[in-house]
C-alpha cells in the first residue's frame, strides 16, 4: 500500500541539500520536508552533548510534519549522535553505515580514505563501520575544516587556485596512504567532487554518502510498501532556523536547482 507522507531530511545547515538532491533524483515521486539548522551551523566543532541536543530538536521538528522516515543528512550527526534516533517512531537513516558499506564494496586494495569535519574524524565512526565489514582494511581519516566555509563562500571551482591548493594540502595524507577509495564524509564535500577527483586521480573511487543513502531509502520504501506512487512528481518544502546570507545562491549550488526564497520558511526551535 502506498504511503503519501513526506520524507524528512535534516542537516546542520545547507550541506544536506546534496543528499536531498540524490533522493529527488532516485525518488522523484516523493514529497520531501527539509530542515537546515542554519542558525547554529556548524555542528562539526560542537561538543558531543550539544550535537545530540540539536539532533533531537531537529528530529522533533520533522516529526511535527508527519514524515514517514527521517534522514540525518549530516556527517557529524551520523557520526556522533545517531543513537539519539533510537526512540523515534519512524525509520531513521544516517550517512556513516551506508557510506562505509559502499566503500567496502568498491575498494580493491582494502585501503580506504575518509574526509570529514573534526567531530566526524575524531569519532572514528567510519573506521569502526569499515572494520566491521572488512577487518583487515587500512583506513586513513583526515579532518578538512576549511571545506565547508569554502563551499559556503562559493569557492568550489576546480580551476580556483585557492580551492586547488586547499584540497591538495588536505588530501596529501590520503594520496600518500595509497587509498583507492575515498568517502566524502561531509554533505558539503560533493560540491568539491571535481576538485577532489583532480587531486587524488581518476583511479580513486569517490563515495558520495547521499547516493548510498538515497538507494537505501528507496529499497526500504519498496520493500515495506511505503512508496508514493500515485503522483507524477513530489513537492519539496524547505525550513531553516536562520536565513543565511546569499541563501538562494548556496542552495542552488548544493541542490543543483533554483529554490525560490518565498518557498523557504524560517522557524524557531527554542520550544522543541
Q: Which sequence positions are flagged as catalytic? A: 74, 186
- How many Å apart are CA 151 and CA 20, to the nearest integer? 17
Between the CA of residue 188 and those of 2, 29, 154, 177, 250, what are the distances in Å? 32, 25, 11, 23, 11
> Left (φ > 0), alpha (ψ -120 to 50) or beta: where does 264 sit?
beta
Tell me whether the omega of the peptide bond preceding residue 56 falls within 30 degrees of 0, making it cis. Answer: no
Distance of CA 83 to the CA centre of its chain: 17
> Is beta strand 111-116 parallel, antiparallel or unpaired with respect to 138-143?
parallel
- How many Å apart are CA 152 and CA 105, to the nearest integer? 31
Q: Which residues pair with 236 in a beta bridge?
A: 32
Count helices and strands (H / E) in the chain.
11, 10
Amino acid at each position: 500500500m502506498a504511503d503519501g507522507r513526506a520524507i524528512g531530511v535534516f542537516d546542520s545547515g545547507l550541506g544536506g541539500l546534496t543528499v536531498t538532491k540524490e533522493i529527488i533524483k532516485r525518488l522523484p515521486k516523493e514529497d520531501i520536508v527539509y530542515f537546515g539548522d542554519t542558525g547554529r551551523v556548524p555542528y562539526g566543532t560542537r561538543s558531543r552533548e550539544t550535537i545530540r541536543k540539536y539532533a533531537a530538536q531537529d528530529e522533533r521538528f520533522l516529526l511535527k510534519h508527519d514524515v514517514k522516515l527521517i534522514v540525518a543528512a549530516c556527517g557529524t550527526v551520523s557520526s556522533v549522535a545517531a543513537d539519539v534516533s533510537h526512540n523515534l517512531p519512524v525509520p531513521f537513516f544516517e550517512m556513516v553505515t551506508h557510506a562505509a558499506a559502499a566503500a567496502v564494496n568498491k575498494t580493491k586494495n582494502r585501503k580506504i580514505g575518509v574526509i570529514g569535519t573534526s567531530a566526524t574524524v575524531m569519532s572514528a565512526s567510519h573506521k569502526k563501520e569499515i572494520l566491521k565489514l572488512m577487518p583487515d582494511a587500512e583506513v586513513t581519516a583526515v579532518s578538512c575544516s576549511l571545506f565547508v566555509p569554502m563551499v559556503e563562500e562559493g569557492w568550489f571551482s576546480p580551476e580556483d587556485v585557492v580551492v586547488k591548493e586547499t584540497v591538495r594540502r588536505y588530501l596529501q595524507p590520503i594520496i600518500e596512504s595509497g587509498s583507492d577509495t575515498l568517502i566524502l564524509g561531509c554533505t558539503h564535500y560533493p560540491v568539491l567532487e571535481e576538485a577532489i577527483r583532480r587531486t587524488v586521480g581518476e583511479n580513486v573511487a569517490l563515495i558520495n554518502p547521499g547516493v548510498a543513502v538515497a538507494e537505501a531509502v528507496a529499497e526500504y520504501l519498496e520493500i515495506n510498501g511505503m512508496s508514493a506512487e500515485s503522483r507524477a512528481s513530489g513537492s519539496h518544502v524547505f525550513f531553516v532556523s536562520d536565513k543565511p546570507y546569499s541563501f538562494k545562491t548556496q542552495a542552488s549550488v548544493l541542490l543543483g536547482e533554483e529554490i525560490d526564497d518565498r518557498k523557504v520558511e524560517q522557524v524557531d526551535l527554542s520550544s522543541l
